[in-house]
Chain A
Amino acid sequence: MAKSEPYDVIIVGSGAGGGMTAYSLTQAGLKVLMLEAGRDYEPKTETPMFNIPADAPLRGVGTPDKPFGFYDATVDGGWQVPNEPYTIAEGSEPFLWWRPRMLGGRTNHWGRISLRFGPLDFKPKSRDGLGYDWPITYVDLAPWYDKVERLIGVTGRAQGLFNTPDSPEGCLQEPPPPRAFELAYARAFAKMGIPVTPMHAAVLTKGINGRSACIYSTPCGRGCSIKANFQSTTVLLPPAMDTGNLHIETNALVYQVDLDKAGHAKGVSFVNRVTGEHHSAAGKVVVLAAGACESARILLNSKSSHFPNGLANDHGIVGRYLMDTVGTNVSGQIPAMEGLPPTNDDGMSVEHTYVPWWGYEKQLRKEMSFPRGYHIEIGGGRQMPSMGLGGLLGGDVLTTGDALRDQARRMYGSTMSFNGRGEMIPNENCYTELDPVVKDKWGIPVLRFHWKWSEHETRQAGHMVETFLEVIDKLGGKPSRDYSTDGKKAISKGGEIIHEVGTVRMGSSPKDSVVNQYGQAWACKNLFVTDGAVMASSPDKNPTLSILALSWRSSDHLATLAKRGEL
């Protein structure tokens, strides 16, 4: 589609939120302009399928240029983006902000774990008095989860577990069988009375919509040239383009929502990251889906006589209630896994099974020292050898020659990595705001972060470590690195799990929220937000599937209002 201003809708961002919004709105016949801050990206030709570490500089290890490794799909991104700084307030705990600069955003490299939030997750305050309830229930979002799972393809199987929703018949694809290490840890967890269940992963085990099934090789984090996993660039944007209703501009870094005299959105201003030229685009509706923090930054930088404190921010809530996922890790070396016959453990690269939170009932009876739960993601098996192998083959006497070769063959694949992913409760000390001094290369004020975990999270992290030590012990193994059972030391840094949400939260009243249940700004009816910024809480379940479901639901509502002429 050629440029045709004013567009019906301008979408800022092309990841899970922006991609789904574009998919939905273009199918509804609306003319859409999508602005993406990063460069164009084509997974079909750019994914390093089957490359091995020896083909890459430094055997592919992570560097400041490519923090998750040379082959990670992320383009021009990481914990720092050149020319686009952010700051941490004095006295704050650390906060890290991961950003890519590419079409499709973080959906290109994400972990593909796709867990529905459960009924309790939408009503946390009603559950235990902490945090804030959502303006919707699980029942409101369930049909949209159904639609998303059918569209993108998600593995899994109904298990009937508490607050871990099953999907209706026909939504999920058959999960692949557990690998040897997954069979092993399941038996240890069973001894502890903790169920292990098939993973819900956005990976196709059966081809759909012209996309191939998984070929059980080459890691998902590189992206997938055969479209076997979910990326906005392979699943959402191509059908949106096929409608003829979508125009995409890349390298377009949006910094402001433009308003008309009445205080309605009339478009956006952006800078071309390559040329440095400033532009504006006109649209009847503006949707922000730039990522929770970037969307908040755009609102805060959109100051006007109507909104001197930033757009839709008279109450000062934009940027508040910033949340991430609680994380920690313990790895163990398990002698029982040594010397198994060679077997192909590549699998679908995402974990085939996981451990959902098992302590809901105990927490409801107030029998645990922390109020919210976590699930466990476990890595292991005979993965493609990496530079990490040298650390495994240490010891007081360093083998060489054939003894080293024997040791390598025996111990390879015998470690397991236990990763907790837990709910964080929003608190007053975690938020973002504009830095009063620092600006980016183009003169736009940058974000300043404030972070402090509460005891709800640090105690949970401590419990994770205790659990992992117990299961490693049951497996007859030993932790392979130093660890701390002190949750304050064990807990991840803010932002480190890359699940930041909550900065433009939804609610049932304009007094204590920025947007309504459809992501529509209370203070500006033709402005919507469809990324993780709208979340009122941050359950342990990874947010992407819920961002997709919420953005589809919001976009559907937006299209209805637009057709009625109500925006």
Chain B
Amino acid sequence: MSEHHRVDTGAPEPEAAAPATPYRSVIDRRTTLAWLGAAGIAVPALAHAQSPNDREKAVVEGKSAQGYGTDPEMVKPKPAPWPRLMTKAQLQTAALICDFILPASGKAPSANALGVPDFIDEWISAPYPAQLADRPIILDGLGWIEGEAQKRFGKSLFDAAPADRAALLKTLTVKPSDLAMQTPHAFFRRFRSLTIGGYYTTQPGFKDIGYIGNVARASDPGPSPEVKAALDAALTKLGL
């Protein structure tokens, strides 16, 4: 058992105490227009197509997804142009898992507040090889979890008791010896990796992890005496 695991179980788990709230997609109108445009949806359909319920319809009616091309606008990037593939239900399941991985903590917002489920939807919907490889891993995994919730609790993951939901997700965090659990674990590992990436590549993520760069400076003073002292102590221990 690792140190992290002990820390994890030593305190009440906020994710277990919180009742589920429906995930509110942070997808903006500009993004919706972009993927609808790419899918070739006629303009009158726009008014009806902005809720996630109509996502599948957009995909079915649309052309095959295109990438952003070899010369995209970089200074003010346009939203990813491909249509999103997750159903409203899948997005909701994804949000419950995101909230298990990175709920709000102190001043740090939750992954859901930063729209990470929508980012994962963008990711698995992309027409590029790496993302196409992730698509079945993520969508099958979301399906497995919902199936497991029905099997165990007779309810969706959303409607399950918070403690039940947390217990189910918790089983995925440990490398399984059970062969049948290896695919669900691999899904969770990948989903968590996408959640971490999606979270920490934002301004609030920078703040939480302690990235203080990306600001113009007149000079580079190098590491502070405090950093140098901490480093020196660590290296001296190694005999360096």
Contact = CB atoms under 8 A, between A and B. Distances in A.
B173 to A, nearest CB: 4
A216 interface: yes
A180 B223 contact: yes
Contacts of B212: 342-344
Interface stretch (A132-140, A394-402, A442-450): A394-402
A65 interface: yes
B238 A476 contact: yes
B128 A56 contact: no
Given A343-B227, A398-B189, A474 B238 contact: yes
B197 A397 contact: no
B226 A57 contact: no
A169 to B, nearest CB: 23
A52 B213 contact: no
B13 A57 contact: no
B75 interface: yes
A2 interface: no
Nearest to B232: A183
A341 interface: yes
Interface stretch (B51-59, B119-127, B141-149, B151-159): B119-127
A389 B200 contact: yes
The interface residues of chain A, by DSSP majority, are classed as loop
Contact of A65 (B68, B218, B224): B68
A46 B122 CA distance: 25
Interface stretch (A73-81, A243-251, A255-263, A421-429): A73-81
B77 interface: yes
B77 A404 contact: no
A53 B201 contact: yes
A1 interface: no
Given A385-B206, A403-B7, A390 B70 contact: no
Contacts of B21: none
A47 interface: yes
A403 B4 CA distance: 6
B201 A343 contact: no
A274 interface: no
B208 interface: yes
A179 B75 contact: no
A341 B224 contact: yes
A437 interface: no
Interface in A206-259: 213-218, 222
Given A47-B75, A191-B240, A215 B173 contact: no
Interface string B186-225: 0011001111111011110110111111111111111110
B72 A384 contact: no
B14 interface: yes
Contact of B211 (A77, A385, A391): A385
A225 to B, nearest CB: 9
A405 B213 contact: no
A390 B192 contact: yes
Interface string A363-406: 00000000000000000001111111111011111111111111
A187 interface: yes
A407 interface: yes
A217 B213 contact: yes
A404 B102 contact: yes
A340 interface: yes
A359 interface: no
A403 B195 CA distance: 15
B220 A57 contact: no
A176 B222 contact: yes
A66 B130 CA distance: 13
Contact of B197 (A187, A222, A340, A389): A389
B28 interface: no
A52 B219 contact: no
Contacts of B100: 400-401
A111 interface: no
A118 B11 CA distance: 62
A45 interface: yes
A386 B197 contact: yes
Interface stretch (A299-307, A345-353, A558-566): A345-353
Contacts of A47: 74-75
A398 B173 contact: yes
Contacts of B218: 213, 215
Interface string A186-197: 011011000000
B188 A398 contact: yes
Interface in B40-69: 67-69
Contacts of B223: 177, 179-180, 183, 343
B231 A340 contact: yes
A341 B226 contact: yes
A449 to B, nearest CB: 22
B178 interface: no
B86 to A, nearest CB: 15
9 contacts: A54-B202, A64-B67, A183-B231, A343-B224, A345-B213, A384-B206, A401-B14, A401-B15, A406-B7
Given A71-B74, A382-B213, A401-B14, 13 more contacts: A58-B123, A180-B223, A191-B239, A214-B220, A217-B215, A336-B231, A382-B210, A385-B211, A391-B193, A398-B192, A405-B102, A409-B210, A412-B209
- Report, nearest first, the 10 A-B pairs whose CB atoms are least far apart: A390-B193, A177-B222, A387-B197, A53-B201, A57-B80, A346-B213, A342-B210, A336-B234, A215-B216, A48-B74
